[in-house]
Structure 1
Amino acid sequence: MHATIGEIDPASRIGQRWWHGRHSWTPPSLGGFDRRRYDVEPIDDATAKRYVESMHYSRSYVAASRRYGMFIHTGDGRDLVGVAVFAIPAQSRVLTNVFPGLEPYRQSLELGRFVLEGQPQHGRRPPGQIDRAPGNAESWFLGQCFRYLADDGIAGVVSFADPVPRPVAGRVLFPGHVGIIYQASNAVLTGRSACRYLTVLPDGTGISDRALQKVRSQHVGHEYVERRLIALGARALRAGQNPARWLPDALNDVDAVRLRHRGCLRYAMLTSPSARRRVELRLPHHGMGRTAYAVGTLRQLSDVGVVGMSYPKQVDALP
């Protein structure tokens, strides 16, 4: 089935949190964040993977390059309440299209996962209760990560905000977001990723067109995709059956939906004052009735009136 859905209203400024796949909200106005109670430090891949897969709605991990954890001090020691994973995207142009002068993977990375602990019980917060990762924790956490990255030679970070909700079985698994945390960190909005279709499964996760093609051609990784579909109720691929013919039936068996996606909002962030002075960005500007691109430092671009796109005040539904 094909469908088109609208996007989240960007007017809200509340923070998004996760607890075992369910989202909750933390208004900054509640306060409660005291940086003296927290530490941020690098963590190993197994710890980051375990936390992200247990907390994030997608239950999926990324090709991690750097991983950082945010810990809260408790009476018994300290607990992990947030994880940031800076990743290696599938294609280097994800980075070079934004930071043309930085060496991808060595001087620039993608923020692949940013997960903070939410309410154990999905729903209304009990009166007076404050999250263990309260409002304003995310901007401090991201700033501490940038300190580590800058010391490690990483000057530029690209991140994407997905404004399209994922409704599943009568509830919203993922409400969408427009990158409020990135805006609070002086990120530059550079545009959107490519408009595309997503194949969304009943559990709210998606399968990329690349993964679907692996099944059709039986390339490396096809078994994982087939197992996911079978676990959700698809009939198994029989011996000798054409995988390209099996796939549409399998997607129909699990009630997968093809959604038209207008593209994620793409942000560029620089990890230090030095990087903000010297790193060149590629930003869009409008002239002669079309979109063109200019390359330069933030100061150079600003001097000619190129400052990136305005932060979204309204995200329109697709036509």
Structure 2
Amino acid sequence: MKTDRSQRWRERREMFVPGDAEFDPSVHSVDAIDCWALAKPFVEQHHYSGSFPASRFSAGLFRNGPGGTSSLVGVCTFAQPSNNRSVAKTANLAHHTHAVDLGRLVLLDDVGCNGETFLVSRALRLLRQHKPEVVSVISYADPIKRRVLGSGFIHGGHIGRIYQIMDALYLGRASARTLDIMPNGLVFSPRALSKLRAGETGSEYALRQLLSAGADEMRADEDAEAWVQRLRARGFFTRIRHPGTHKYLFPLTRSAKIAAVPLVKYDYPQADLTQPYDVTALEIMRHAA
């Protein structure tokens, strides 16, 4: 099955290729790659977030060239869920190591339509080979458009059509939440704020996030809490109410499929990309039993 358009990235800019942009599987291959030496630099260079998750396994899409050469044109990385409790809630599995999040899926803009199904299907098989304890993959699709202040969209929103094509289970929306959006269109997460306040591991990254988005330097008489409150008071953050990302599940084994049976499933959401905020077109409906 072909999609009518496919999301692509280059230098942290989102773009789409039309459905008639053919993907040639004969000149592409997928292989396991080092998360930190290859996947991380590629994702940070091209994905709009500029960030790389706590990855447990990564697969790369390679385009084969003349003389036995190849170039990396896509990455699919599987990450440790940010909240271990989501494994029990979303995949109905007892141990948090038995599931991963599909943390990043990034293909360059010169990869033809449907290259993502080629990459993801093979990445899932490689994941099982290299991480046999992982039996389910959780994936999220963010339908909310994000705009860089005074510029265009950094993220146009999507409803997870690629996961639908691959017959993933659709489990409805994640919890609604309020987000702090920086002027560059990126989220400053509550976890990043907590790390900054406590000076935990990762606080330096949170600091760089704010500064790279245009925040004033922290004053000598300020701690992290006072600094963030000052930024908030002057309107550095835009607070939005996020209705929740769309949740999908790929059970990879028979036991994982059995574990997923009691989960509540819903009909796939549809998209309306003309919507100004949430590109979800229709309210989700519970699957008939």
Q: Into which bin does the TM-score normalised by the smaller protein fall? A: 0.7 to 0.9
- 1:48 is the counterpart of 2:39: yes
Q: What residue is the counterpart of 1:81 in the other structure? A: 73
SS of alignment partner, residue 90 of structure 2: coil
User: 2:247 matched to which residue of 1?
Assistant: 266
Mapping of residues 204-243 of structure 1, within 5 Å: 204-243=185-224
Between the aligned partners of 2:260 and 2:281, the Cα distance in structure 1 is 31
The answer on 1:161 being equivalent to 2:141 is yes
* Unaligned ranges ≥5, structure 2: 272-279, 284-289
| 2:57 aligned with 1:57 | no
Are the equivalent residues in 2 in contact too, given 1:233–1:253 (CA < 8 A)? no
Q: Does the 8 Å contact 1:229/1:250 carry over to 2?
A: no
CA distance in 2, matches of 1:225, 1:103: 29
Aligned to 1:26: 17
Number of aligned positions between the proteins = 268
* CA gap 1:71/1:185 in 2 versus in 1, 3 angstroms: same
On the 8 A contact 2:270/2:282 being kept in 1, the answer is no
For the 8 Å contact 2:140–2:245, the answer to whether it is kept is: yes
TM-score of the pair, normalised by structure 2? 0.84
**1: distance between equivalents of 2:14 and 2:190?**
27
Question: What secondary structure sits across from 2:39 in the alignment?
Answer: helix
Instruction: Kindly provide the amino acid, as one letter, of the partner of residue 103 in structure 1.
Output: H
Pairwise mapping of residues 238-317 of structure 1 onto structure 2 (< 5 A)?
238-252=219-233, 255-271=236-252, 274=254, 278-284=258-264, 308-313=265-270, 315=280
Cα pair 1:201 1:254 within 8 Å, conserved? no
1:232 Cα deviation from its structure 2 partner: 3.5
* Aligned mates of 2:115, 2:94 — CA distance in 1: 29
1:39 counterpart residue number: 29
The match for 1:141 among 110, 119, 125 is 119
Do the aligned residues in 2 keep the contact of 1:198 with 1:207 (CA within 8 Å)?
A: yes
Is the aligned partner of 1:190 residue 2:182? Answer: no
Matches of 2:157 and 2:146, distance apart in 1: 7
Give the greater-gyration-radius structure (CA): 1
Question: In structure 2, what is the equivalent of residue 122 of structure 1?
Answer: none
2:164·2:268 contact (CA, 8 Å) conserved in 1? yes
Q: Which residue identity lines up with residue 143 of structure 1 in the other structure?
A: S
Deviation of 1:316 after TM superposition, in Å, equals 5.7
Asked if residue 99 in structure 1 is aligned to residue 91 in structure 2, the reply is yes
Partner of residue 123, structure 1: none
Q: CA RMSD in A?
A: 2.3
- AA paired with 1:26? V
Q: 1:316 to 1:197 in 2, by over 3 A?
A: farther
SS at match of 1:53: helix
Residue 200 of structure 1: CA displacement? 1.0
State the 1:275 CA deviation: 5.5
Distance 1:234 1:172 in 2: 20
Bigger mean CA deviation after superposition, 262-271 or 204-213: 204-213
TM-score by length of 1: 0.77
Cα–Cα, structure 1 residues 280 and 209, in superposed 2: closer, same or farther, change >3 Å? same
Report the CA distance shift for 1:270/1:310 in structure 2 as closer, same or farther (over 3 A).
same
In the alignment, structure 1 residue 66 sits paired with structure 2 residue 61? no
State the 1:78 CA deviation.
1.0
**2: CA distance, partners of 1:167 / 1:84:** 25
In 2 relative to 1, CA 204–281 (structure 1 residues): closer, same or farther, beyond 3 Å?
A: farther
Query: Quick one: higher RCO (CA 8 Å, sep 6+), 1 or 2?
Result: 1
Q: Deviations over 1:240-268 (max 9, x none)?
A: 42432221222455732111100100001
Structure 1 residues 108 and 55, CA, compared in 2 at 3 Å: closer, same or farther?
same
Q: Which residue of 2 aligns with 1:17?
A: 8
SS of 1:233 mapped into structure 2 = coil
Deviation at 1:217, TM superposition (A): 4.2
Tell me which residue corresponds to 1:179.
160
- Distance in 1, matches of 2:114 and 2:243, equals 29
